[in-house]
Amino acid sequence: MTPMTGLCFLPVVAHELAVGFRRLITPAVCPSDFQTCSLRLARTLGLLLAITASTCFAQADSTTPYSAPAPTQLMQDFENSIADALLAHLDSEIAQLPNNGLNLEFLDIRAVEGKLRLLNQYQAQIHSVDKQYLDSNRLLRLKLLSYAHLMLQQRARFSSKDHAISPFHGPHTDLLRLLQSYPISPESGLEPLILQLNLLSRSLHQPFALQENMTEVECLTLQNQLQSLSKPTALSAELHYRLTEMGLPSPTRRSYLDQFEASLEATILPALQEFSASINCASRPTHQGTDSAYYRYRLARFSADEPSAELVHNLGLTELKRIQTALSAQWQHLYPARSAGVLYDEMRASQTLSSTLSDAKKQQYLSRVTDQILAIEAVAPAWVGAAGFTNLEIVAAGPLLSLYALPIEYQQPSDSLAQMLINFGEASPSEYQLAAQTYYHTIPGMHQVRLQPRRFSTLLSSADDPGYFSGWSLYLTNLALENPGSASLDSLGLVAMNAELAAMLVIDTGIHALNWSRQQAIDFLLANTPTPLSIAPRLIDEVRFRPAAMAAPYLGMLRAQRLVATHGAKHLNWQDLLVAGPVPVPLTNELSVWLNVD
């Protein structure tokens, strides 16, 4: 290297010093941008020191041949190193945010606020990076941060609507989920659970909006539910049910219940009573239909795209018709002597709903699910990602929680534990869908997808991009269970589950964009799918009170199918895409660039 080599760095140094000093002396930017400016100036000074050292070395040994890097390469290295430092700092701070694996809706408010606060702090630093010099990896990650920031801002804007309470959604249902699923171990006892319950009970002191489309009867039902939960024996009985299911000895159960009841009297019950008293059904707003701007936001959030309600509605009709044809063909292949004209009634008549099972039969049902998961794991290497799995429990919902839960739910109450929660209440799962629902909620579905490493999208959780997590789970379930050219009860259940989820596209847009009534939606679901009579109202109420949420699995699966079709020939089908993590539709071009060069 010669002294002239150091001059090659001068354009880089001059550029960075100018950017840094210009920002430091601009009143509109400082002091909020001080950290960004300091970072760039510190790196620039380090570069200057390197130039000085390299120049002195060259003077001492001018006979050594050396080829100076091009200024463009220096700029690329410089900006990529800044992006790496920025992303590393942000990842470390995100990791310190509370985990909400149970998807508790009213703890999620704080999670959104925490992420938004972090991204607000980092926005100036993100904008300071000169993106024209970044490689595809860093460019995609920074664009994902910008997307996440915009999405979180929208969620904060519509927070009151997102967290409006209904008979099935509110801090009281979060309380039951926490009581049902938070880990209890002999080493830690009940103290960690009580701590979480006390934290959650704080949300009961906050005023919440009522769901606008909730009827007066439903509002009064909600009040009655809250009053029932406010009785000391109700929550104690729910915990007693769980402790008994765990097989704990009687003295341990009594000790735990004594601790819990003391906490109930001190914090939880007063908060529940205050919450119940704050609800005024007489003054609830008159429902005028779902606000169009709010529904557009919800569709965009749950599909990671910006589809119109009309497009989603027509897409659902098209997909449902295709699936109905496949379902009829499977049924006739399995039962050639039965008429396809009464297919749905025949399937409902042949179902043994788990709500009719005795306790012994329920245990057998749970054991069947466990055995099925073990069988799945035995063949998993054929289509499961490389990430290891946490412990997975198959548990029955407690008597109170079964009033609010969907037929089957997946949750991850801690970093070392995940659960498949089965509802044995009125909205219980049907027998014929057992295999498909198990695959979807465990392996290769939610249990795999939610635990996969997310190379780019460490900030985006299942609450931030539901369509990604549920969509990939449905796609992989179809990949594992599809068996073209043959028919079985498992594949029949899979097609029936697909029909139900495709119908959600029609029903969701029907209710929130076309002003369908609740009964009209129930009638459509029963006329076009084999959904059991007891489950249909619960699914429709979930659509009513959480717009676009039930459309996320099918929209997400279609998104996964498009990505795999585009990139599957060059890469290992879906695996690279799954490890990349949630990437919204507007950024698929950037994802393609990364896939082609990685």
Quickly list H helices, 34-128.
34-60, 71-95, 108-128
DSSP string, 334-362: H-TTS-GGGHHHHHHHT---GGG--HHHH
* Confidence check: pLDDT of 130 > 90: no
pLDDT in tens, 508-526: 999 999 999 999 999 999 9
Instruction: Answer whether residue 425 is part of any domain.
Output: no
Cβ atoms 290, 213 nearer than 8 A? yes
Instruction: Answer whether residue 366 is part of any domain.
Output: no
Cis preceding-peptide flag for 444 (omega within 30 of 0): yes
**Can you give the pTM of this predicted structure?**
0.86
- Quickly state the pLDDT bin for 346 (edges 50, 70, 90): confident
Question: Which residue type is seen at 567?
Answer: H
Do 135 and 222 have their domain in common?
A: no
Instruction: Answer whether residue 48 is part of any domain.
Output: yes
Identify the domain boundary among 283, 313, 337: 283
* Confidence check: pLDDT of 362 > 90: no
As a whole number of angstroms, the distance between CA 365 and CA 275 comes to 37
As a whole number of angstroms, the distance between CA 150 and CA 157 comes to 11
As a whole number of angstroms, the distance between CA 12 and CA 50 comes to 13
Sheet holding 391-396, edge to edge: 391-396, 417-422, 408-414
Mean of pLDDT values over 322-330: 93
Do 278 and 325 have their domain in common?
A: no
What is the share, in percent, of the chain residues with pLDDT greater than 70? 82
* Mean of all residue pLDDT scores within the chain: 82
- Quickly state the pLDDT bin for 501 (edges 50, 70, 90): very high
pLDDT in tens, 52-74: 544 444 444 445 555 555 668 88
Give the rounded distance of the alpha carbon of 287 from its chain centre: 29
Cβ within 8 Å of residue 520, ≥6 positions away: 510
Q: How far is CA 218 from each of CA 252, 400, 547, rounded to the nearest angstrom?
A: 39, 17, 18
- Quickly state the pLDDT bin for 12 (edges 50, 70, 90): very low
Mean of pLDDT values over 324-334: 91
8-state DSSP, 195: H
CA proximity to 87, closest of 43, 138, 42, 47: 138
Identify the domain boundary among 255, 283, 311: 283
Helical axes 489-513 vs 518-528, angle rounded to 10° = 150
CA angle 293, 296, 301 (to 5 degrees): 125
pLDDT for 529 equals: 95
Is 408 in a helix, a strand, or coil?
strand
Residue whose entry in the numeric block shows the structure tokens 């369509």: 467
133 or 42: which carries more pLDDT confidence? Answer: 133
Instruction: Answer whether residue 424 is part of any domain.
Output: no
Do 153 and 177 have their domain in common?
A: no
Range of the domain at 7: 3-157
Quickly list H helices, 96-207.
108-128, 136-157, 159-162, 171-181, 191-201
Do 50 and 196 have their domain in common?
A: no
Cβ atoms 394, 370 nearer than 8 A? yes
- Quickly state the pLDDT bin for 359 (edges 50, 70, 90): confident
* Confidence check: pLDDT of 168 > 50: yes
Instruction: Answer whether residue 225 is part of any domain.
Output: yes
pLDDT in tens, 246-283: 889 999 999 999 999 999 999 999 999 999 988 888 88
pLDDT for 29 equals: 36
pLDDT for 543 equals: 97
Do 344 and 237 have their domain in common?
A: no
Do 150 and 179 have their domain in common?
A: no
As a whole number of angstroms, the distance between CA 98 and CA 106 comes to 13
Helix (H) or strand (E) holding 467: helix 466-481
As a whole number of angstroms, the distance between CA 595 and CA 591 comes to 6
Do 259 and 311 have their domain in common?
A: no
* Confidence check: pLDDT of 84 > 80: yes
- Quickly state the pLDDT bin for 41 (edges 50, 70, 90): low
Q: How far is CA 68 from each of CA 12, 54, 60, 61, 414, rounded to the nearest angstrom?
A: 14, 11, 17, 15, 52
* Confidence check: pLDDT of 34 > 90: no
Looking at the 3D structure of the chain, how many domains does it have? 3
- Quickly state the pLDDT bin for 415 (edges 50, 70, 90): confident
Do 32 and 129 have their domain in common?
A: yes
Identify the domain boundary among 283, 306, 333: 283
As a whole number of angstroms, the distance between CA 398 and CA 178 comes to 11
Do 141 and 64 have their domain in common?
A: yes
CA proximity to 432, closest of 499, 486, 380: 499
Do 69 and 110 have their domain in common?
A: yes
Backbone angles phi, psi at 308, to 5 degrees: -80, 155
Instruction: Answer whether residue 221 is part of any domain.
Output: yes
pLDDT in tens, 545-586: 999 999 999 999 999 998 888 775 544 567 778 888 888 888
pLDDT for 568 equals: 58
Instruction: Answer whether residue 327 is part of any domain.
Output: yes
Neighbours of 319 (CB within 10 A): 20
Query: Which residues share a beta bridge with 210?
Result: 165
Helical axes 434-441 vs 359-379, angle rounded to 10° = 60
Instruction: Answer whether residue 390 is part of any domain.
Output: no
As a whole number of angstroms, the distance between CA 514 and CA 290 comes to 9
Question: Which residue type is seen at 351?
Answer: Q
402 or 389: which carries more pLDDT confidence? Answer: 402
Mean of pLDDT values over 422-427: 85
Do 517 and 583 have their domain in common?
A: yes
Helix (H) or strand (E) holding 413: strand 408-414
Do 47 and 185 have their domain in common?
A: no
